């Protein structure tokens, strides 16, 4: 049969689809964990970013947590109302607002840290620790190469 049209790669060899499928595989137990405290994936990412980098402006959070600024505005408002973080105007540039975790925010993270680590450790045992490391390295490099040219 004469096949004229260009052929796409199989979905298993499509990077965006493979990344999504792999993520869905990994997210299962984490979703269960988060569901228990009624916190969304997006809020959990924001919490982790804040925990990692400390007080920071919103554009940086949006980039690190893969959220658009309008989404982030809404999420931060809700989380501030719930007492997990505070926003204050930056001293040197009053357009910026700096976001910072409260003690309650840090406590929320702490409550989940152990289980989160256990989930990751279990995955490493099943999938292979070396492979996880290799995979994370490649993902980092891929992300970095996206910023180039």
Partner DNA sequence: TATTGTTATACTCTATAACTATA
Partner DNA sequence: TATAGTTATAGAGTATAACAATA
Exactly one of 19, 53, 69, 113 binds DNA (CB under 7 A); that residue is 69
Question: Among residues 106, 99, 95, which one has the least CA distance to residue 73?
Answer: 99
Residues in binding contact with DNA, number by CB under 7 A: 28
Q: Within a 10 A sphere around the Cβ of 122, how many other Cβ atoms? A: 11
Of residues 35 and 88, the one with the C-beta less far from a copy of itself: 35
Alpha helices in 2-147 (DSSP H): 15-36, 41-53, 58-65, 69-81, 103-127, 129-147
CA distance 139 to 66: 15
CB of 96 to DNA, least distance (A): 4
Q: Dihedrals φ, ψ of 22, to 5°?
A: -60, -40
> Nearer Cβ to a copy of itself, position 16 or 38?
16
Minimum distance from residue 83 beta carbon to DNA (Å)? 16
**Residue 19 binds to DNA (criterion: CB under 7 A):** no
Instruction: Compare residues 9 and 88 and give the one whose CB is closer to DNA.
Output: 88
Q: Which is nearer to DNA, 38 or 130 (CB)?
A: 38
**Cβ of residue 81: shortest distance to DNA, in angstroms?**
12
Other CB atoms within 10 Å distance of the CB of residue 132: 15
Choice from 50, 67, 85, 119 touching DNA (CB under 7 A): 67
Instruction: Report the nearest approach of a copy of itself to the CB of residue 126 (Å).
Output: 5
User: Does residue number 37 form part of the binding site for DNA (CB under 7 A)?
Assistant: no
| Residues 6, 20: Cα–Cα separation, whole Å | 24
């Amino acid at each position: 049969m004469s096949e004229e049209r260009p052929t796409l790669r199989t979905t298993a060899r499509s990077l965006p689809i493979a990344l999504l499928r792999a993520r869905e595989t990994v997210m299962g137990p984490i979703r269960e964990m988060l569901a228990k405290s009624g916190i969304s994936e997006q809020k959990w990412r924001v919490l982790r970013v804040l925990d990692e980098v400390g007080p920071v402006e919103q554009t940086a959070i949006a980039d690190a947590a893969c959220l658009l600024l309008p989404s982030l505005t809404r999420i931060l408002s809700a989380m501030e109302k719930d007492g997990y973080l505070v926003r204050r105007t930056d001293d040197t540039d009053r357009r910026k607002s700096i976001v910072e975790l409260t003690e309650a925010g840090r406590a929320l993270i702490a409550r989940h840290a152990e289980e989160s680590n256990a989930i990751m450790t279990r995955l490493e045992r099943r999938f292979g620790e070396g492979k996880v490391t290799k995979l994370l390295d490649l993902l980092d490099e891929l992300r970095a190469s996206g910023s180039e040219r």
